[in-house]
Amino acid sequence: MSPLGRRCARFVILAAILSVSASVAMADNKIQWTEQEKPIVEKIRHLRDVPDDQRAQVTKDLAMQIRALPVTGHRLELATDLASLSTEGDYGKDTLQTVADTLAESLRQHPVEGENGHPAYPYFALAELVRYEHVQASLDHPQYTAAMAELALDDEHRAKADFTLSDLDGRRWTLKSLRGKVVLVNFWATWCPPCRKELPDLETLSQRFADKGLVILAISDEDAGKVKPFIEKQRITYTVLLDPGHKVADEFAVDGVPKSFIYDREGKLVAQAIDMRTRKQFLEMLEKAGLK
């Protein structure tokens, strides 16, 4: 199946599962949270408001609280939503491992069916933690195996990907024409809080490594009328490209933003991030492309 087909199928699956972080305002109509679950729902809902120096511990505590819930409740929904928020920054491998263990345990206790022959979204959430955040998971289930296989196929397509898009001034940029440069491709949106949070670090890195051959291509599928004033207000100087109809996002199997991909001077995909990264994390990724 093409990246577009997998991306659309994953969106269908994701839409079928209530997300606390995305749809908590409608939760009362769709899920009857227990009194024990309601405080956890509220904490997950406001997790982005927690200061960065406290968020790792709060995330770990939430994972353990979810694990302590009765098996008959909504552990899987909560574990999946926590997993989706746990990768927004650098909160440590120990935190991510705790989140992954909680999600794997919830899936063992509450296996869910996929749709149209594709794994259910919680299996993808766990597979992404394992493949891209390098944690461990013990889950013997065909949907998890299938999710891991689909992610591997996505990476094969990204490694071979090419595109040509226009920037805000109408100049055309082609990925493969940038051989000899280190290219950081960043998918983002003006409405996305984690995207906005990493903008200053990307700008700093662009200025720091411009003379060493770093090119940042930030891709948005929004209209130029929305993107251009936002970029001007944020004083972003690196290249912003427009992806009308999100065709390039589809080619990269991007089912959420932000996501970043780094290609070395030979055009090889050497690092990627499934969520927001800190400056330190971006530096670690760029080092894999030979930039220090």
* Six token digits for residue 148: 């891991």
Q: Are 89 and 201 in contact (CB under 8 A)?
A: no
Looking up tokens 């927001």 gives 276
Contacts of 291 (CB under 8 A, 6+ apart): 182, 209, 212, 213, 214
Catalytic residues: 195
* Six token digits for residue 227: 């993107």
Q: How far apart are CA 262 and CA 126, in angstroms?
A: 23
Going by their DSSP bridges, the two strands 214-220 and 164-167 should be labelled as unpaired
213 — alpha (psi -120 to 50), left (phi > 0) or beta?
left
**Residue 118 bridge partners (DSSP):** 115
What are φ and ψ of residue 8, in 5° steps? -65, -40
Q: Are 104 and 79 in contact (CB under 8 A)?
A: no
**Residue 272 bridge partners (DSSP):** 261
Amino acid letter, residue 30? K
Q: How far apart are CA 247 and CA 108, in angstroms?
A: 36
* Six token digits for residue 94: 């120990």
**Residue 241 bridge partners (DSSP):** 167, 219
